Chain A
Amino acid sequence: DQQVKQNSPSLSVQEGRISILNCDYTNSMFDYFLWYKKYPAEGPTFLISISSIKDKNEDGRFTVFLNKSAKHLSLHIVPSQPGDSAVYFCAASARSSSNTGKLIFGQGTTLQVKP
C-alpha cells in the first residue's frame, strides 16, 4: 500500500510556463511534507517543505500548497526553466508521533521543461 502517491509519472511544459506537480497521501498521521529534486546519477536534494499547520510555503520560484482535507499537496514552479528538468519526489513524515525522522516517498514525477 503506497502511502504517498504521485500519479503522474511524467510532465512536459514549455520554458516560462508554470509546472504543477501533484502528490496524494493516505496516512492522516503525516504532518510534514517535502519535495526533493533528483538529477540523473546524483542523489536527491531537498527543495522545499511544508508543515501541516500551514497551507502554503513559498521559496522563490517554488511554492508548495497543502490541502489537508483532501490529503493532497502540489508543487508549483513559476516560471519553469530548462534546468528544472529532473525527477521530483514528494515525501512525508509523521514528526509529531515519531522521532525516527524517516521519510516516505512517492514514485516520482519526471519533469521536462522544453526551451
Chain B
Amino acid sequence: DAGITQSPRHKVTETGTPVTLRCHQTENHRYMYWYRQDPGHGLRLIHYSYGVKDTDKGEVSDGYSVSRSKTEDFLLTLESATSSQTSVYFCATGDGMTGELFFGEGSRLTVL
C-alpha cells in the first residue's frame, strides 16, 4: 500500500465548470500518474509526472492539465468539464525501480 489518497472521491458538476482532482502520496515516489477508467477502454493514461514540476502527456490528455509543485501532490484539472469527461479517475505512483504502480481508490466524476 503506497499511501495514496484521492480527493474528492465523488463529484457531480455541470458542463463548463472547472474541476480539480487531488492526489496525495506518502511514499515519496518519484513518479505519479493520472488514469481514467471507462467501459470498453480499460485504464488510459491522461498525464504523468517524473518529478516536481516535470510532467508529460499521456494517451488522452486533451482537456486536462496537471501540476506537481511538491513530491507528494499531483493535481489534475479539467478547465471546462464536458460530459465526455464523466469517468472514474485513478491516481497512481511508482518508484521507477520495480515497474509496479500503486493505485489510489479512485475519484468518480459525473459531468451533467
Contacts and interface: CB of A to CB of B under 8 A. Distances in A.
Interface of A: 4, 6, 9, 32, 34, 36, 41-46, 49, 89, 91, 93, 95, 99-108
Interface stretch (B13-21, B66-74, B79-87, B100-108): B100-108
Contacts of B41: 107
B42 A89 contact: yes
B100 A46 contact: yes
B45 interface: yes
The 4 closest A-B pairs by CB, nearest first: A43-B103, A105-B43, A107-B42, A101-B94
Interface in B20-49: 31, 33, 35, 40-45, 48
Contacts, number: 64
**Chain A interface, >50% SS class:** loop
Interface of B: 4, 31, 33, 35, 40-45, 48, 50, 56, 58-59, 90, 92, 94, 96, 99-106
Contact of B48 (A4, A45, A46, A102): A102
A49 B104 contact: no
15 contacts: A34-B99, A41-B106, A44-B43, A46-B100, A46-B101, A49-B99, A49-B100, A93-B99, A100-B56, A101-B31, A102-B58, A104-B45, A105-B44, A108-B42, A108-B43
The winner among B33, B41, B48, B99 for most chain A CB atoms within 10 A is: B99
Contacts of A9: 40
Contact of B99 (A43, A101, A106): A101
Contact of A43 (B59, B96, B104): B104
Contacts of A43: 4, 90, 92, 103-106
